[in-house]
Amino acid sequence: MNLQVSPDNLQVPLTFGTVQKNFYLEIGSGLNMITQQTAEQVGFHFHSLDPNIFLGGYGQKITRLGNSPKFRMGTLPGDDVEFGILPRPVDDGTVAGHLGNRMFEKLDFELDIAQHKLNVFSADHCPEKVVYWTKTGFAELPFRREGTILTTSMTLDDKPLRVTLSTRAGSEIGMNTVRELFKLDENSPGMTLATTSPNGQKFYRYPFKSLAVDALTIGNPNILIRDEAPAPGCNNRPRIQDVDAPTGHVASKPMNYITCFKPDLLIGLSVLSKLHIYFSSKEQMIYATGAAAH
């Protein structure tokens, strides 16, 4: 299946009957989401969300869920898949929502961004018999589901990190993690200010040498450092704050994970575009090579 690839996102088409709509592919999110306008157009079945559950996305509060009619993703048929219903359009209105990692809970998928390809497979296969595109070896990254995200482990300049993958924009690490593991801060030699967001959030760049796992090494990874006020760690145990969660997740009260519970490193398209990867859902394993491996 062909992907639309940009530096900020990946888009994939779904076809409902004769209606085709583009969705962002967002493996860093759990729930699938669709705009109300599109869901009504293609014949979703709706039900209200429990009022004690708070769910949001794209700056919108979700109060309804919907189950899809029959659709196709490439050659793969689908039916009765749950989506969160977004009351308003997403971005400029040309995208109908996003597909989260729950779309692939019982499926495998291969992501070859360099070739603009997403391939979906049955999860019923022999272990490790999926990397067909190279004979020169591959890396194995066991992953686990933590709430709505998928996490794995890698090393950045030989320091072990908990990592989550996202198919959106850049890759980033928090300054508190950098302080703790690398003994660096915004005033360290080699640290430069890369950009400042419209809300005043600063992002720095540092010349990290390598991001590695198993037999795979990415040299000079393009990773931004998100500025943060110094804060104590929390031993990777979840704590919550009563704040609005702009990216959305299900909870019994409005909350968001504080920074120190988040994975240490978010790997986005600035790094993923250098890889060819296969997600094996039954094995809970990510197989990866460089994008040019053959």
* Residues linked to residue 155 through DSSP beta bridges, in sequence order: 160, 212
Domains contained in the chain, CATH given: 4-105 (2.40.70.10), 133-235+258-290 (2.40.70.10)
Burial 174-202 (b: 16+ CB within 10 A, else e): bbbbbbbbbebebeeeebeeeeeeeeeeb
pLDDT tens string, the chain, 294 residues long: the values are 899 999 899 999 999 999 999 999 999 888 899 999 999 999 999 999 888 888 888 889 999 999 999 999 888 888 999 999 999 999 888 999 999 998 988 889 999 999 999 998 888 877 778 899 998 889 999 998 877 788 899 999 999 999 999 998 889 999 999 999 999 999 999 999 999 999 999 999 999 999 999 889 999 999 999 999 887 655 444 444 444 444 444 444 444 444 444 678 999 999 999 999 999 998 999 999 999 888
Question: Given this model, what pLDDT does residue 18 score?
Answer: 93
**How many other CB atoms are there within 10 angstroms of residue 43's CB atom?**
13
Question: Given this model, what pLDDT does residue 262 score?
Answer: 64
Q: Rounded CA gap, 270 and 60, in Å? A: 27
Question: Given this model, what pLDDT does residue 255 score?
Answer: 43
Q: Rounded CA gap, 101 and 165, in Å? A: 11
Question: Given this model, what pLDDT does residue 47 score?
Answer: 92
Question: Given this model, what pLDDT does residue 245 score?
Answer: 41
| Both structure tokens of 22 | 């583009």
- Give the predicted TM-score (pTM) of the model: 0.82
